[in-house]
A and B are shown apart, each in its own frame.
Chain A
Amino acid sequence: MGSTGEGLGRRDLIKRSAALGLITVPTMSFLSACASGGEESTKGPDKGAVTKENPFGVAKGGKLDVVVFKGGFGDDYAKAWEAAFDKKWGTTSSHLGTQEITAKLQPRFNGGNPPDVVDDSGAQQIKLDVLAKGDQLADLTAVLDAPSLDDPTKKVRDTLVEGAYEQGLQGGKFVVLKYVYAVFGFWYSGKLFKEKGWAPPKTWDEFLAVCTKAKEAGIGGLAHQGKFPYYINVVIMDLIAKKGGLEAMKAIDNLEPNAFEGNPAALAAVEAVYEVVEKGLLMPGTNGLTHTESQTAWNQYKAAFIPSGSWLENEQLKQTPEDFDMKFLPMPLLADSKLPFEAIRAGVDEPFIVPEKAANKAAGMEFLRSMLSREWSTIFAQQANSLTVVKDGVDPGVKLRPGTQSAVEALKAAGSNTFSYRYPDWYSEMDTEIQNASNELMAQRIQPKEWIKRAQAAVDKAAKDPNAKNNKRS
């Protein structure tokens, strides 16, 4: 394509002129400023001198164009970031928080004038693999290799949690920064537990005991988001992973013929969950409720526990009583579990990208580097009540909301004992079928053995998927 070739040529030219500016005396910056000024009209990138503090060569006084998905996390965090960025770099940033990512951005990507930073998330996200295949995503390896803002002796990549790198790859290139780190488990009200004198359970038997006590007190034991069996699947799958160890989890992801069938850990996990149903310890009606309905009922003290990821606190912000004291609980252990109680499922999400054709790519990259600093990570944790992929990324002196605070502590206690299933991303059909089976199980329409049979059938079916060859984990 002629126009693309021309664009690349122009960029090369500017890169070279910036490099020239670097090797010549500092006064040359005056000239390069002129050059960038001249480029304004042709929409070329602004470029400053590349130094250790400014690894991408952000030009002072440039423009920064940020578009973020305004969903569950709102967009206040981004506004705070932009203010901080403008203050440091003297830039003028423009901000757009929207749910219509595709509608707003597709024409800009096609027109070759995309923003500098995009949080490409939500139901209307532009598919990342499509953008990657169209060469629309900047290679972010440079961000990983740049010095961390918190500790210049470290590279940014060494400050990230596990999984952040692997899950940002498209075709072997790191082009997506998944920024939010979510941990999964049960949640309860610290206030309710204190009032009733219940201790947070560490084993499944203790868990059932608390549910039973709750039931006696006229409260449901376990609530779950019945209309979306995704959540109860987290419970079943995490019990399997904790009892059977990481091998049991990988067997499922790798679609092995004995992933469920003949796997004692799997049967034990399903039976454990079914025990809750059989003993009548579910919150009445929970099987048919949506996530907001069941979570709100739980916020109204109608149930002791609910499973969810760490976005729960922010999602329920308006429904949660002031003194609710939300607390995170790792999945309680079944007998003879291979992983410790502290082990938790943890995953990354909320993809941030820098478009390849961004007008101010340098500032975009610097923006991502700043996001991976402790300061900005703390801003996110405070404004969006969620964790980030920055390891220990929240300033200990900062006061967080109780749920986020307890998730931070649980993550610290877990250390390297985190795990994450891949099959939901790889085989959505299998995921859906297992969810259906779980829904039937919770409604007592099938028994644990039947669940195992159905789940294995879903695995065997997925094994015939052409993708099964490429999707292997070790």
Chain B
Amino acid sequence: MSHVAQSKGRAGFIAGFLVAPLALYLTFVIWPYVQTFGYSFTNWSGQSPTFDFVGLDNYASLLKDEVFRGALGHNLLLLVFVPVITILLALFFAFMVNAGGRSGAGGVRGVGGSRVYKIVYFFPQVLSLAILAVLFGAIYRSDEGGLLNGFLTQLGLIDAEHPVEWLNEPDLVLWCLLFVVVWHGVGFYLVLFSAAMQSVPKDIYEAALLDGAGRAQTFFRVTLPLLWDSVQTSAVYLGIAAMDMFVLVSTMTSQQFGGGPDHHSEVMSTVLMRNFLYFGKSGYACAMGVVMLALTMILSIITLRATRRERIEF
């Protein structure tokens, strides 16, 4: 058998394995998107097979929909803060755990007890978002039974008669949710960055140490450039998470599918779900879905482009 035929046979063999997953992907991922796109031009109610074509009406009303625009604003705010805060914290902790220890010249290692930290930091990632929602629901509880309120009352910082209604305060609710996402994410990205750091050859660090680099210099000149690929990927992932936020907002805040008080924690996905399932405006909700898809894709491309750098090989 010639080489060509052999490779053809191999290609066929591989393609054979790919057909089924590809078909599944087309049926369950691509096709629904196409359908959503189609439905977004109709006034489909979601409960009946009949609907009319309404052209771009849904998109036109979307532009005027204050609730949706507010939700978009919240998503963008999260989009900036969630990745930045999470990555910075994760990088800092990962560096401290892996290379932050001050030891003798030759040794590059983490601060004391770093093994324990690594495990502890990873804990939040093990919990599902649904559990987190319950957990933080108890922390943010609006009466004295809440962990935060109880704590602050004990310290005498707030009056027991007027506890802080964390998730019912328009100015606080989004930041409370942001904290949960960051708390949840840091551990995972810490482990991710740790793994990347460990693949950096020790001699590079040793060389830096010998040249008299301090912790900060080591981090910015050595660690960060070598980790750039991981940071980039993390930014895209966290960006997508910030565009979603559905589980936390819908379970932790007031209103049907969350978003309360008075739309102050609304994100696009909660507005979408409410219109889709509760208001019977499914065509309109599909238009929101299309907008979300477009935004997420644009953002991913921008993130990847903006963070593109020369790859460093080692």
Give A contacts to B, CB under 8 Å. Answer: 127, 129-130, 133, 226-229, 280, 283-290, 293, 297, 428-429, 432, 435-437, 439-440, 443, 445
Contacts and interface: CB of A to CB of B under 8 A. Distances in A.
B255 A428 contact: no
A436 B255 contact: yes
B241 to A, nearest CB: 24
A286 B144 CA distance: 10
Contact of B141 (A288, A428, A435): A288
Given A284-B160, A288-B167, A429-B279, A228 B143 contact: no
B230 interface: no
A129 B141 contact: no
Residue among B168, B274, B279 with most chain A CB within 10 A: B168
Contacts of B47: 127, 129-130
Given A227-B254, A286-B143, A432-B274, A439 B279 contact: no
18 contacts: A127-B47, A130-B47, A130-B48, A228-B254, A283-B143, A285-B143, A286-B142, A288-B141, A288-B168, A290-B137, A297-B145, A428-B278, A437-B262, A439-B254, A439-B261, A440-B262, A443-B165, A445-B170
Nearest to B274: A432
B170 A285 contact: no
What DSSP secondary structure best describes chain A's contact surface? Answer: helix
B261 A289 contact: no
B49 to A, nearest CB: 9
A266 B142 CA distance: 29
Contacts of A432: 255-256, 274, 278-279
B163 A285 contact: yes
Contact of A285 (B142, B256, B262): B142
B143 A297 contact: yes
B251 to A, nearest CB: 10
A229 B254 contact: yes
B184 interface: no
Contact of B165 (A133, A287, A429): A287
Contacts of B162: 284
B149 interface: yes
A55 B254 CA distance: 50
Residue among B47, B255, B278 with most chain A CB within 10 A: B255
A226 B168 contact: yes
Given A226-B165, A283-B143, A437-B262, 14 more contacts: A127-B47, A129-B47, A227-B168, A280-B161, A284-B144, A286-B142, A288-B254, A289-B143, A293-B143, A297-B143, A297-B145, A428-B279, A432-B278, A443-B261
Contacts of B167: 288
Interface in B235-278: 254-256, 260-263, 274, 278
A245 B114 CA distance: 71
Nearest to B259: A436
B255 A435 contact: yes
Residue among B47, B144, B165, B254 with most chain A CB within 10 A: B254
Contacts of B142: 226, 285-289
B166 interface: yes
Interface string B143-173: 1111001000000000011110111101000
B162 to A, nearest CB: 7
